[in-house]
Structure 1
Amino acid sequence: MAAYEKAHPIGTRARLAMALLLYTGQRRGDVVRMGWQHVHGNRITVQQSKTGAKLDIKIHKALADALAHTERTNMTFLVTEHGAPFTAAGFGNLFREWCDKAGLTGRSAHGLRKAAARRVAEAGRSTKQIQAVTGHSTLQEVDRYTRAADQARLADEAIDAMPDRSDREQNFPNRKRRLDKTARKVLK
């Protein structure tokens, strides 16, 4: 993301787009509909077009910085060169071009939605908290985005909590005998 920020300084549409995607965790179709009418103090509200979920999200400092350099003359934050709102597909294509310009080939707007969820997970927050930001309808969807971050964090916490018993005698647990010594049957 540092390469993207270097290529697209504060005050550019490209930087605003990145900030909206990363710091709201929303889909590109929802980001292109966001405008000043959705900002209330230090919060931004969105009703997701895919799920209908109504979200009220605190504005992150980095997003506030990007918004501070954004004109208040349009209905949406992000507009085309002709001043019209983007379509989701048109925005997605332009975002890929902005990524390519920054030397980040193969990247997409959706990657920042995943990055937002991953960052919250890496900060040790719950799947419910992530869901409150991203608006995913199920925790299973959130889990798909955050599995790797959760695994590493949880493994670290588990190892840190493990007592050091190397200086004491410790018995190895014995395996219990199985009642049925035949192979497990598969249900059809």
Structure 2
Amino acid sequence: MAEIKLDFVNTFIDARGKVRHTFRRKGHKRVTIKGRAGSAEFMETYHALVEKTGGTQSPAEIGGGRTKGGTVDALVVAYYKDDAFKKAIAKATQNMRRPILDAFREFKTPSGRRYGENHVATMREKSIRAVMEGKTTNSQKNFLKALRGFIAFAMSQGAVTVDPTAGIKPLKDGAKSSGHMTWLEPQIDQYREHHKLGTVARAAIELLLNIAARRHDAHVIGKQHTREGKLSWRPHKTLRSTGKMLTIRIIPELQEALDALPESTKSEGVLTFLVNDYGRPFASAAAFGNKFADWCNAAGLKPVLCDDGRTRNYRAHGLRKSALRTLAHAGATGVELMAVSGHSSLDQLQEYLDEVDQERSADAAMTKLAKTR
């Protein structure tokens, strides 16, 4: 895959041999961008820094006026400017899909010709499979989602009549990915032991754990969402789809953590429960995620080698999974889980219900066995 170049980003290898990325813009403080380059977390932080420092033209739009009509280049530029991209999908999703589509444009055929120079109508399944070759299953899934969104736009513009991705499915590359690390009781206890009541770090884990919020929602939830002992908000992820409102009761454990926050974190005009080291709301979900990672490291939570062979750290999203797992083990039904998580399909929650059923069935089987001994 071609290298993705971003304005103001300097990439280098430090003295320890680690790849580092810094955001450098004249007149502004240098900032290190954490995360894997091109990931949703990385791109969300990058775009937040660009906007904060005055904005810039999208990397994909530079030279847009010189693209040839009908080419992939020209249509991608048009797609980025259209509401189908700017309004129909969430900002975080935009930040993730931009580098994917830009890399697709820069991918070269064996002859050395860029895909972006090709006419949209000439896209074929074989060419798309060539771009996917060597990618992990998750990377293939993200690539297909991004490309299918673009092709849907192209079809709406009459530039193409057939979806060349229709017959393509992501290849399986071994063990199924377990995704973000799910927190269990020992890790939660370890974090709580280090971050006492009265700290923002403690309020953060209680908020994430007790309402199963995504990090994007957790960093903006505050006093304005409190009503009669409950929190009511519209999840950011579904604002453009279902737009559903979630209302969840504040349990004593969470209320205790919120009440314990010192007055120094409750600056005038600041409504969010969670604030940064300067007493201000976090600039973005990525900024909050980076800070939460620091809190996890401070609590001594170490990376873990997972069943799929990947090493993962304990992070904010893993608490959402832990919250749903705990609810399922407490006897919550699928519909009840959906009411808390905001999922629109029970299929997305089935893994938690299956886990409970497996454990209970196994316990019952072993109990029966014990009676025969």
User: TM range, normalised to the smaller chain?
Assistant: 0.7 to 0.9
Label 1:138 to 1:102 Cα distance change in 2 as closer, same or farther (>3 A).
same
Q: Is the 8 A contact 2:219 2:285 kept in 1?
A: yes
Instruction: Report the TM-score when normalising by structure 1.
Output: 0.79
Q: SS at the partner of 2:237?
A: coil
Instruction: Report the TM-score when normalising by structure 2.
Output: 0.41
Which residue of the other structure, out of 273, 289, 292, is the alignment partner of 1:95?
A: 292
* Aligned amino acid, residue 286 of structure 2: A
- Equivalents in 2 of 1:120, 1:93: separation in Å? 27
- Equivalents in 1 of 2:259, 2:317: separation in Å? 24
Q: Aligned residues, how many?
A: 164
Label 1:124 to 1:98 Cα distance change in 2 as closer, same or farther (>3 A).
same
**Structure-2 residue corresponding to 1:143:** 350
- Equivalents in 1 of 2:253, 2:300: separation in Å? 22
**Structure-2 residue corresponding to 1:32:** 219
Which residue of the other structure, out of 61, 72, 84, is the alignment partner of 2:252?
A: 61
Greater relative CO (CA pairs within 8 A, separation 6+): 1
**Structure-2 residue corresponding to 1:10:** 197
Q: How does 1:1-188 map to 2 (within 5 A)?
A: 1-51=188-238, 52-70=243-261, 71=263, 72-73=266-267, 74-86=270-282, 87-105=284-302, 106-156=313-363
Q: CA RMSD in A?
A: 2.2
- Equivalents in 2 of 1:159, 1:110: separation in Å? 33
- Report the Cα offset of residue 41 of structure 1: 2.2
* 1:18-41 alpha-carbon deviations (Å, 9 max, x no partner): 000000101000011100111112
Q: SS at the partner of 1:44?
A: strand
* Aligned amino acid, residue 254 of structure 2: L
Q: Is the 8 A contact 2:213 2:341 kept in 1?
A: yes
Label 1:141 to 1:61 Cα distance change in 2 as closer, same or farther (>3 A).
same
**Structure 2: tracts of 5 or more residues without a match:** 1-187, 303-312
- Equivalents in 2 of 1:153, 1:137: separation in Å? 26
Q: Is the 8 A contact 2:210 2:251 kept in 1?
A: yes
Q: Is the 8 A contact 1:47 1:53 kept in 2?
A: yes
**Structure 1: tracts of 5 or more residues without a match:** 167-188
Q: Is the 8 A contact 1:22 1:112 kept in 2?
A: yes
Q: Is the 8 A contact 1:30 1:49 kept in 2?
A: yes
